[in-house]
Amino acid sequence: MHMIRAAVAGASGYAGGEILRLLLSHPDVEIGAVTAKSSAGQLVGSVHPHLTPLAGRIVEDTTVETLAGHDAVFLALPHGHSAALAAELPEGTAVIDCGADFRLRDRRAWAAFYDTPYAGSWAYGMPELCVGADGKQRAALHGTRRIAVPGCYPTAASLALAPGFAGGLLAPEGVVIVAASGTSGAGKSLKPHLLGAEVMGAMSPYGVGGVHRHTPEIEQNLSGACGEAVLVSFTPTLAPMPRGILATCTAPLAEAAGVSAADVRAAWEKAYTDEPFVHLLPEGQWPSTASVLGSNSVHVQVALDERVGRVVAVSAVDNLTKGTAGAAVQCLNLATGLPETAGLAVAGVAP
């Protein structure tokens, strides 16, 4: 079988390094150019010491010329930097963008949350996302050559709640999501508030008041699941851990009368029974970020708070794996006709 030759742009960051880690174990992918801007000319081993098989490779400059000629190109670039580069790549190349540039379908939503020109939208790379009562986003990814990888928070929140909206159980207003993320979600650049002395032993909120950029993406996903506009109050928090997201998501029942805990669980079972990477945990067992570390899995649990008529869905995801790089590799597999699970781990690393 033809080996897919893949380049990784923005390889010096956390997401780029995670893509490289996963591709090293992929049976059908050969790693081509490894590129970055600020790290160009350095050895991969000096940027990512854990990537021993690539330690002697030189990080090249990110140019169209360097990336051309590959079967696939992963873009792990800052928001606003992917569009211009992608426009210069051949149409036949599978381009998987890990940034936000092509995630949103609504130009107005982009303008409200981002400060760069709207670049349009690509196929949205969350295969397991419920689309309507019986559809999944996976259908839009087979054979496509331009894919937008979801954000990490939207992955956790959307997969936690979408089955309830697809099943007609949840109301589109009054949705509240509070999610804790490890510090790697903020990227690799040095920032005072991410210093160990600031983070250890502390938790703090940020992006409070509906201003976090992932809010419209979560709303887009949940609206697509139920067929009408969903409004979300989203508050992220920073947790003293390197990686992982724990999202606690609640939404009111559309009609509280007659809906049982069994009805709620049945909707999530219907959505995820056959999914290789989304796991509805046994009743009474709750997600933990430690359980999904290094894996492409999402752990989900759901409960009905009958007293207030709200559903509580909790999910755990590794923000660097399923939250970014794992999703990108999963999308590459779908785009190129490979087994969807190729090169991706279901089991996490413990302890």
The per-residue pLDDT for range 145-204, each reduced to its tens digit, is: 999 999 999 999 999 999 999 999 999 999 999 999 998 887 777 677 777 778 888 999
| Phi and psi at residue 323, to the nearest 5° | -70, -15
Q: Take residue 11 and report the two structure tokens written for it.
A: 């390889």
Residue at 292: amino acid letter: V
pLDDT digits (tens, 9 = 90+) for 5-19: 999 999 999 999 999
**CATH number of 4-121: 3.30.1490.20, 3.30.497.10, 3.40.50.720, 3.40.50.300?**
3.40.50.720
Taking 50 as the pLDDT cut, the residues of the chain under it are none
Separation of alpha carbons 117 and 299, rounded Å = 36
Residue 130 annotated as catalytic: no
Q: Which two tokens stand for residue 267?
A: 């909707």
Q: Which of 152, 226, 249, 331 is catalytic?
A: 152
**In the chain, pLDDT over 70 holds for what percent of residues?**
99
Whats the size of the chain, residue-wise?
351
What confidence score (pLDDT) does residue 15 get?
Answer: 96
Tell me what pLDDT residue 190 has.
Answer: 65
User: What per-residue confidence (pLDDT) applies to 107?
Assistant: 97
87-114: b (≥16 Cβ within 10 Å) or e: eebeeebbbbbbbbbbbbbeeebbeebb
For the domain made up of 153-317, give the CATH fold: Dihydrodipicolinate Reductase; domain 2 (3.30.360)
Domain 4-121 identical in fold to domain 153-317: no
* Nearest to 332, CA basis, from 168, 79, 141, 167: 141
Classified as helix, coil or strand, 203 is coil
Domain spans, the chain: 4-121, 153-317
pTM: 0.95
Mean pLDDT across the chain: 95
3-state SS assignment for residue 30: strand
Question: Please, which residues have CB within 8 angstroms of residue 297's CB and are 6 or more apart in sequence?
Answer: 277, 278, 279, 317, 322, 345, 346, 347, 348
Helix (H) or strand (E) holding 60: strand 60-61
